[in-house]
Amino acid sequence: MLSLSLLSIKNKPELIKKMYSLNPDYIHLDVADGIFVPSKAEFLDLPEGNQKLDVHLMVEDVEWYLEVYSALDPEYITFHIEVTTRPDVIIDKIKRKNIKVGLAISPETTVEEIKPYLGLVDLVLVMGVTPGFGGQSFLSDSLTKVDELYSLRETNGYNYLIEIDGGINKETLKECSKCDMFVVGSYITLSEEYKERAQIFIDTKKGI
């Protein structure tokens, strides 16, 4: 499934409208506070439409941004394990809003650190790049985490989706067969062949 990131075109409304017209499985909103990551990004003035939203909070104050972005009625809100010592509290607050919960891990974070919460979440987002900037190259070490999450899901009967974010394109996609959802940004949004490139991912569970 394609979760189309607008991060690389956040200040270009006309391009954003074109991306909406592709009808991806999800529109991926990378929200950045300039603290957890150096960059800043907000997505509150979006085109009208029925696109399902996949919100990725790259922020320190998750609870404040949760209140803001829950108003957009997203299907998923994902936060980073690195910003809190009580992920269970945030998970519960998101669920109380009838929104599915995602838990994200940055490149330096191990799967071991999120094991206690895997039975509570609907999605695990594995960062294939350092969070906060579009257009980076894929870190192949992230595939080890994908393998581990896939195995844990099979062994324990968990229901979370595995989402990969960062450096995903036609070539790196081939390495990610155990992922369910692909966050793709600049590979599509900054290309003149954006329609053809989006079609590689749209409505494709495994993407291969």
Quick: pLDDT tens for 83-105. 999 999 999 999 999 999 999 99
pLDDT score, position 7: 92
Grade residue 134 by pLDDT with cuts at 50, 70 and 90: low
Q: With pLDDT > 90 as the criterion, what percentage of the chain qualifies?
A: 77
User: For the chain, how long is the longest CA-to-CA vector?
Assistant: 45
Query: What's the whole-number average pLDDT of the chain?
Result: 92
Active site residues: 30, 165
pLDDT score, position 203: 58
pLDDT reading at 6 higher than 90 = yes
Angle between helices 62-70 and 87-96 (to 10 degrees): 10
Average pLDDT, stretch 153-157? 98
Average pLDDT, stretch 168-197? 92
pLDDT score, position 202: 78
pLDDT score, position 206: 40
| Helix boundaries (H) for the chain | 13-20, 62-70, 87-96, 142-156, 170-173, 186-189, 194-201
Domains and CATH numbers, the chain: 2-201 (3.20.20.70)
| 15-to-123, 167, 186, 197 alpha-carbon distances in Å | 28, 20, 12, 15
Beta-carbon contacts of 137 under 8 Å, excluding residues fewer than 6 positions away, are: 129, 167
Grade residue 136 by pLDDT with cuts at 50, 70 and 90: low
How are beta strands 40-41 and 26-33 bridged, if at all? antiparallel
pLDDT reading at 189 higher than 60 = yes
pLDDT score, position 13: 92
pTM: 0.93
> How many C-beta atoms surround the C-beta of residue 67 within 10 A?
10
pLDDT reading at 164 higher than 70 = yes
How far is residue 39's CA from residue 68's CA, in Å, rounded to a whole number? 19
